[in-house]
Amino acid sequence: MHGIMTDSHTWNRVAPPVADRGYRVIAVDLRGHGASGHGAPYTPAVLAADLLETLPPAPDLAIGHSLGSAALLLAQPRLRCARAIHCDPAWVNRPRDLAALRAVKYATWRELRAEHPLWHDEDITAEHRALTTWDPDSVDALAHLPGLPIAAPAAPSLVLLADPSERIPPAPAATLRSRGWHTRTVDGAGHTVHRDDPIGFLYGLSGWL
């Protein structure tokens, strides 16, 4: 499950190594992104319901990034995945300039290149293409995030964090560990860990694939 303003192609550089482990990889386009239709309301709860309608039940592993992780968190009890990985999850509300986020819709390739210096050029091109189908109204979902989980996860779950993570800083990460969540950090990676450092991302999944 990808994050906001991108699409399923965000996983292009890490999905093949995961498939090489014997998994059948299913990468979805969230509502308002990629090949999926547009349509309010945009909330993590609605995105979670979409996942439950779309995905086969009881997968061996589910991976969500950012907003996709918020949707996965809400879907997880009914999805019944054996394990879950949440990549720098957008669970907690924080001050955001939503108008500025909507304006990213019109970013140029060069602007994306400057914003994401660690990404491969192919990822910049894929992101630029994803913006053409992205519905900027989906940023409304960021006003309805589920908050930090107050209970143990529904299944063994890893929270894989950026370095540093603005979304799950050290104190909330410690709280998660006290509630039965596992956490790891990918050194030097930004919010989109799997694009900043695909090798570090896969190494961070050691023991979970």
Domain limits for position 60: 8-204
Q: What is the structure's pLDDT at 38?
A: 97
Is 1 among the domain residues?
no
Strands 84-87, 182-185: pairing kind: unpaired
Read off the pLDDT of residues 182-200 as tens digits, 9 standing for 90 and up.
Answer: 999 999 999 999 999 999 9
pLDDT value for 96: 87
End-to-end alpha carbon distance in the chain: 16
C-beta of residue 145 within 8 angstroms of C-beta of residue 89: no
Residue 166 lies in a domain: yes
Mean pLDDT of 153-175: 98
DSSP letter for each residue of 103-127: HGGG--HHHHHHH-TTS-HHHHHHH
- The token pair at 187 is 């050194």
Q: What is the pLDDT of residue 58?
A: 98
Residue 49 lies in a domain: yes
Q: What is the mean pLDDT of residues 20-27?
A: 97
State the pLDDT at residue 90.
Answer: 98
Contacts of 203 (CB under 8 A, 6+ apart): 186
> What is the reported pLDDT for 95?
87
For helices 67-79 and 44-54, the axis angle rounded to 10 degrees is 50
pLDDT in tens, 123-160: 999 999 999 999 999 999 999 999 999 999 999 999 99
Contact between 82 and 187 under an 8 Å Cβ cutoff? The reply is no
**Average pLDDT across the chain, whole number:** 98
H helices present in 28-80, as ranges: 44-54, 67-79
The tens digit of pLDDT for each residue in 97-124 reads 999 999 999 999 999 999 999 999 999 9
Determine if the pTM surpasses 0.95.
Answer: yes
The pLDDT score that the predictor gives to residue 132 is 98
Q: How many domains does the chain have?
A: 1
Element (H, E) at 84: strand 84-87
Q: What is the CATH number of the domain that holds 69?
A: 3.40.50.1820
Between 173 and 96, residue with greater pLDDT: 173
